[in-house]
Chain A
Amino acid sequence: MSLLEIKNLRAKVDGNEILKGVNLALDAGEVHSIMGPNGSGKSTLAQVLARRETYEITGGEVLLNGKDLLAMKPEEAACEGLFLAFQYPVEIPGVSNAYFLRSALNAIRKYRGLEEMDAMDFLPKLREKMKLLEMDEKFLNRSVNESFSGGEKKRNEILQMEILEPSVAILDETDSGLDIDALKIVAKGVNAMRSPERAMLVVTHYQRLLDYIVPDKVHVLVDGRIVRSGGPELALELEAKGYAAGAA
């Protein structure tokens, strides 16, 4: 059984159909990449899978660990192990990063019947992961994403992923706005999360990220459908030929 199975997924937003029948199967231990031109529906796919309510499902089925994902609310999908690293992480003023993360972790732990983690146990774990992502300790008490640079926001997304330990992680254009150094740090974090129990979907525009996070499979999304799939070399072919020719 695949960890994530997408069958004929159709979705629209603001009255426009964006996803027109997406098919994809993601097995545990795998990292797949979705590439495509602007407007192809990459971000829509990510948001729909994360269950954003502004998107309307018009057809198809998605199974997360065998369970009906489309019947879940965003928080349920999260508790069932789905994580979305946002392309544009939003700010939450007045809520510290440490407090927010611990609350999220405990919400998920509670759902799974685990005991909540108190600050004494949580903070050392958080600090350890922050060090690996080269994030300053000062960040702990700052409000979520407030006054963060683009790079800091993306690293914060990866930090959250490391703490929440999802089964399926969707990274929506995690590389956008990053310089090469930040990119390497983020990639290091993502690669450290690879595991036989986990699957990842890396949504990206450019091939460059895939030099650092080498995917098992690459899919090309054009006009709301996956038109071609292949191994990591497909990404290089797209870079050389462009989407129009490469998608053929």
Chain B
Amino acid sequence: MSSNTDATIRELAQQEYKWGFVTDIGEDRAPKGLNEEIIRFISAKKNEPEFMLEWRLKAYRHWESLEKSQAEPKWANIHYAPINYQDISYYSAPKQKPNLKSLDELDPEILRTYEKLGIPLAEQKMLAGVAVDAVFDSVSVGTTFKAKLAEAGVIFCSFSEAVKEHPELVKKYLGTVVPYTDNFFAALNAAVFSDGSFVYVPKGVKCPMELSTYFRINAAETGQFERTLIVADERASVSYLEGCTAPIRDENQLHAAVVELIAMDDAQIKYSTVQNWYPGDKNGKGGIYNFVTKRGACRGKNSKISWTQVETGSAITWKYPSCILQGENSVGEFYSVALANNYQQADTGTKMIHIGKNTRSTIVSKGISAGHGQNTYRGQVKIMKDATGARNYTQCDSLLIGDKCGAHTFPYIEVKNSTARMEHEASTSKIGEDQMFYLRQRGLKTEDAVSMIVNGFCKRVFRELPMEFAVEAQKLLSVSLEGSVG
């Protein structure tokens, strides 16, 4: 650490804040509230270079102006109590020490879920924050992994680390796909982002293994405001897995992440997400609000970005992983399974913006509603004036389980080039009593029958997931739908 940074920190540590309190930099948690001092506090805690703090402050000022003019977006098909942005703590130190001695101390309900999902014992311990024993040394696993990547020249580290170790790369690409002016939550994220992943794959390199958040050493923490940036340079390719099937609780209700993907000429990025955050209880109380901005820029010719998501958790899911198809012949894909059970709400979909020539996009969205869940698909396919030869295929299907849930679709199609070819298919179905009876008459129990029908419904999407994720995702869906039929 340079003496400059030392001095800055000392200065900040002794500062008295406008609101009349002094924040001790040694604290693990910032006091609740959002203001410039908190932003400086966060940046100082993370030892960030000046450019990062400046960016955060610009973003915060922009967010503040939006908030003051009541520009918080309200158009989605979701309902939630107004968020008090001053009643949130925007920084908490990453957990260093394990907080449980053994899995026996864990809530048996959570343990049961881990079992049902088939999560290996060692992983269960990591997720629960139990001390990892000698049999499974997470540090050495991480080290081998890192060595392989270093050999290939792939940079894969936490976003915080990237800001310090690779500032030129971060400066070059950060905010170029999702600027802080993009939307209300993107501005908030840019101001207070906690951590996330940074990936840079150099020219011509095919990343030798699938990257997973699990393998970042400090991975067990869920980011409240995660920021992820993945860049695949010319002819590079990478597959990234985010999340896990294990249910994750967090005292912080609002999660507003931003993910930016950039693919150069002939590069490919595959981004897969399995999300099972706490969805609230059976009566809809509590649960996480997952308001995410995810966007991929296919900057280069023949580049390709694929989003695959399985969203079963969160009380409210609000996200549209999108692709900007700039480069000629670039391809964007979106495969999604979104579940809304009990009182969950989902307003999710994608935007495919066709700008370059001969671009192609594929959208396959499978929405499942059960209980009192409300599931909305919102998609935009935009063919710009010069996007000759653009092609889009969209399939959005809804499955209703029971008669108290809802499925809604809002497809927007805007075509400004007459050579475009668009295909749109949509279906709404329910699990019929006759289908259930047929499967049960062949010996299958009710839960297995529902599982079979639902997995059949989602097959097209699961096929796109990396194998191990696909198996986990199927189990996750079954577990999430327990008790929804019969």
Contact = CB atoms under 8 A, between A and B. Distances in A.
Interface of A: 50-54, 73-75, 77-79, 83-84, 86, 89-95, 100, 103-105, 107-108, 111, 143, 160, 164
B443 A86 contact: no
Q: Is the contact region of chain B dominated by helix, strand, or loop, or is it mixed?
A: helix
Contact of A94 (B440, B441, B442, B455): B455
A86 B445 CA distance: 19
Contacts of A100: 439, 442, 452
B443 A75 contact: yes
B440 A54 contact: no
Interface string B407-448: 000000000000000000000000011110111111111101
Contacts of A50: 437, 441
Given A93-B457, A143-B456, 19 more contacts: A50-B441, A52-B437, A74-B437, A75-B440, A77-B441, A78-B440, A79-B443, A86-B438, A90-B432, A92-B435, A94-B456, A94-B459, A95-B456, A103-B444, A103-B452, A104-B439, A104-B442, A104-B444, A164-B442
Given A54-B433, A94-B459, A160 B438 contact: no
B443 A73 contact: no
A154 to B, nearest CB: 14
Nearest to A88: B434
A246 B226 CA distance: 79
A107 B452 contact: no
Nearest to B435: A90
B122 interface: no
Closest 6 CB pairs between A and B?
A: A94-B456, A104-B442, A95-B456, A74-B440, A107-B443, A78-B443
Contacts of B439: 92, 100, 104
A49 to B, nearest CB: 10
Nearest to B458: A94
B435 A108 contact: no
A71 to B, nearest CB: 15
B456 A93 contact: yes
B442 A160 contact: yes
Nearest to A163: B442
B155 interface: no
14 contacts: A50-B437, A73-B440, A78-B442, A86-B438, A90-B435, A93-B456, A94-B455, A94-B457, A104-B439, A104-B442, A105-B443, A108-B443, A111-B443, A160-B442
A77 B453 CA distance: 21
A184 B455 CA distance: 36
Contacts of A104: 439, 442-444
Interface in B314-328: none
Contact of B453 (A74, A79, A84, A92): A92
B444 A75 contact: yes
Interface in B438-486: 438-446, 448, 452-453, 455-460
A53 B485 CA distance: 14
A84 B441 contact: yes
A73 B439 CA distance: 12
Contacts of A105: 443
Contacts of A78: 440-443
A73 B445 CA distance: 9
Contacts of B440: 73-75, 78
Nearest to B433: A54
A107 B456 contact: no
Contacts of B441: 50-51, 74-75, 77-78, 83-84, 86
Contacts of A77: 441
Nearest to B453: A92
Contacts of A86: 438, 441
Contacts of A54: 433
Contacts of A84: 441
Contacts of A89: 438
B373 to A, nearest CB: 20
A107 B438 contact: no
Contacts of A93: 456-457
A82 to B, nearest CB: 8
A50 B448 CA distance: 18
B439 to A, nearest CB: 7
A50 B443 CA distance: 11
Contacts of B456: 92-95, 143
A90 B459 contact: no
A93 to B, nearest CB: 6
Contacts of A75: 440-441, 443-446
Contacts of B446: 75
Nearest to B462: A94
A54 B455 CA distance: 26
* Listed residue (B437, B446, B458, B460) with the most chain A CB atoms within 10 angstroms of its CB: B437
A100 B446 CA distance: 14
Contacts of B445: 75, 107
Contacts of B435: 90-92
A159 to B, nearest CB: 12
A94 B440 CA distance: 17
Interface in B275-300: none
A86 B438 CA distance: 8
A103 B458 CA distance: 18
Contact of A92 (B443, B448, B452, B460): B452
B452 A95 contact: yes
A104 B452 CA distance: 11
B326 to A, nearest CB: 35
Contacts of B437: 50, 52-53, 74
A90 B442 contact: no
A187 to B, nearest CB: 22
